[in-house]
Amino acid sequence: MILVKSTQIIDGTGKPPYKADVLIKDDKISAIGNYATKKAEVIVDGLGYYLTPGFIDINTDADHYLSLFTNPSQGDFIKQGVTTTIGGQCGSSLAPLLYGSLESIQKWTDIRQINVGWHTMKEFLKTLGRTKIGVNFGTLIGHSTIRRAIIGEELRDLTDPELKVFEHIIEKAMEEGALGFSTGLGYSHSRITPYQEILQLVKIVSKHGGVYATHLRNEDEKIVGSVKEAIRIARETGVKTLISHFRPLKGFEKNYEEALEIIKKEADKLDFHFDGYPFDASVVPIYTLLPKWAQIGGFRDMLKNLSSNEIQERLLGEFSHINGDDVIIAQAPSAKYLVGKTLGAFARNHELELSQALIRLMIVTDLQATVIYKNINLDLAIGSLMSDRALVASNGAGLPERNDFIKHERFYNTFPKFLEISETANQPIEQTIKKFTSAPAQKFGIKKRGLLKEGYQADLTMIKGNKVHSVFVNGQQAMTDGKIQNILAGQIIKRNSS
């Protein structure tokens, strides 16, 4: 039994803080009240701290980078107060797998790191539950994962029988606990997906009360049309909808603001949100810097095209907008010596113009590099996150400390950073905590979490001065006074499970 004494409780409902003691028994919040004389095995002094529900990060990449298995403690999430994470975003998930293949995540990581021993959603969640992880985890079903398993690398519409197979897979995965369904319409393999295909699949998700999350088809001058497409899906199916990492890209701020206004006006009666982070950089596969016309086929096809003098000549004019200091190599498995270098430094070292250097960099890294790209208007991104339609998400990966990968700050400091920003903007802390906790729990149908309430799971975060000091995951102390305890107390989150 654990007793947290004399703390200021922010319960996740949006109500102002109040002083109380909290009793934790096993993995539940046992009681909230005044227990000055109560004895417990562990007593935590909460004086001067806020005690909140554990934060819920609704858009994470720990599955895409396979760190759920390679770094199960998931310490970067714990450090920022996160106790529950959701994966399967942007059209790629670790289940269901028709043939046990992970092609849809190879843009992020080396898929040879693990041996896949599952096919269905049920088998995957059971495997992960046996493995044990440091945070709670739930997943969406990845559209690209299934589509590529059905038709391979072909870029075409599905036949009616193929769509029927797809529908059956979605139905079964939802029944086995998936939280919803995601599309990565901005990526090369999914960009040509017809509206009707998405509509048919999302109808099944809506029937089960799941969430539809979409990486928009376009985030530049066509972002308005992409947002309208997501709103239309939501309106026609009634599905709970989330736009993933809704970003104001530099050069397209007016388009973004118009799209934001459309969300405010046209999605007013829909369960419609977007997520984002308070930073100016994206972490993206290097091939996404290619213009859309060059993102054809798989990596081999794109690499072959890059070796063509004709294609290279055409590409030179496409990269004129990129600043050499705005692209930093975060990961390059086939050229680790490049990690940490900017595109500008790479260009100078090879005595190349920036456009030429970017083409060379893509070839040298076999298009397998990940880059930190400062392409976001920070002020506009922060302003949009203040919206009631906005939820905060790190898009982080729970990676271990490595010399061959540079972690952007959003991987480990998204939620504390937004706490600071909210305080500066004079937003009441209880409203910010609601955005971190009960709002995402309600969105994704996560029961018994997201509120600091008797009978709920003891996922708790202690903060002071906008910094996270201690974290409880299902009643166990995962972080104490800023030190990670490497306690693997996370549970598997399934749709509608208590």
What CATH code is carried by the domain that includes residue 114? 3.20.20.140
- Contact present, 274 and 389 (Cβ < 8 Å): yes
Same domain, 317 and 424: no
DSSP result, 145-197: HHHHHHHTT--SPPPHHHHHHHHHHHHHHHHTT--EEEEETTSTTTTT--HHH
Same domain, yes or no: 325 and 273: no
Residue at a domain's end among 320, 346, 372: 372
Q: Where are the alpha helices (DSSP H) in 399-491?
A: 410-424, 429-436, 438-443
Does the pTM surpass 0.85? The reply is yes
In a domain, 498, yes or no: no
Task: Give the residues across from 241 on adjacent strands.
Answer: 212, 272
> Could you tell me the two tokens for 205?
């998700």
Q: Write down the pLDDT at residue 37.
A: 82
244 and 107 inside one domain: yes
Please report whether residue 493 resides in a domain.
no
For residue 320, CA distances in Å to 55, 315, 365 come to: 41, 10, 21
The position carrying tokens 């139905």 is: 171
Same domain, yes or no: 346 and 199 = no
Please, is 380 exposed, middle or buried when counting C-beta atoms within 10 Å of its C-beta (0-12, 13-18, 19+)?
middle
Residue 293 domain-assigned (yes or no)? yes
The answer to whether residue 419 sits within a structural domain is yes
> Are 311 and 416 part of one and the same domain?
no
For 27, the domain range is 2-53+450-484
CA angle 21, 25, 31 (to 5 degrees): 35
Q: List the CATH number of the domain containing 468.
A: 2.30.40.10
Tell which residue, 189, 221, 206, has the closest CA to residue 90: 189
Residues 113, 256, single domain; the answer is: yes
Residue 195 falls within a domain, yes or no? yes
Domain boundary among 372, 389, 410: 372
Which residue has tokens 């790209």? Answer: 373
- Whole-number pLDDT of residue 106: 78
How far apart CA 487 and CA 70 sit, in angstroms, is 15
Q: What is the pLDDT of residue 391?
A: 98
Could you list the pLDDT tens digit for every one of the 498 residues in the chain? 999 999 999 999 999 999 999 999 999 999 999 988 888 899 999 999 999 999 999 999 999 999 999 999 999 999 999 999 999 999 999 999 988 778 777 777 777 788 888 899 999 999 999 989 999 999 999 999 999 999 988 889 999 999 999 999 999 999 999 999 999 999 878 889 999 999 999 999 999 999 999 999 999 999 999 999 999 999 999 999 999 999 999 999 999 999 999 999 999 889 999 999 999 999 998 988 999 888 877 778 888 888 888 999 999 888 888 899 999 999 998 899 999 999 999 999 999 999 999 999 999 999 989 999 999 999 999 999 999 999 999 999 999 888 888 999 999 999 999 999 999 999 999 999 999 999 999 999 999 999 999 999 999 999 999 999 999 999 999 999 999 998 999 999 998 775
State the Cα–Cα distance between residues 177 and 183, nearest whole angstrom. Answer: 18
337 and 395 housed in the same domain: no
- Residues 158 and 225 both lie in one domain: yes
pLDDT at 114: 80
Residue 479: per-residue pLDDT: 96
Separation between Cα atoms, residue 396 and residue 409, nearest integer Å: 9
Does residue 489 lie in a domain region? no
**Residue 89 Rama label (left phi>0; alpha psi -120 to 50; beta):** beta
Q: How far apart are CA 40 and CA 2, in angstroms?
A: 6
Pairing status of strand 467-473 against strand 476-480: antiparallel
Q: Is residue 492 part of a domain?
A: no
Q: Say if 463 falls within a structural domain.
A: yes
Q: Among 351, 372, 393, give the residue marking a domain's end.
A: 372
Residues 120 and 65 reside in one and the same domain: yes
Residues 112 and 245 in one domain: yes
**Counted domains in the chain:** 3
Same domain, 132 and 70: yes
182 and 298 inside one domain: no
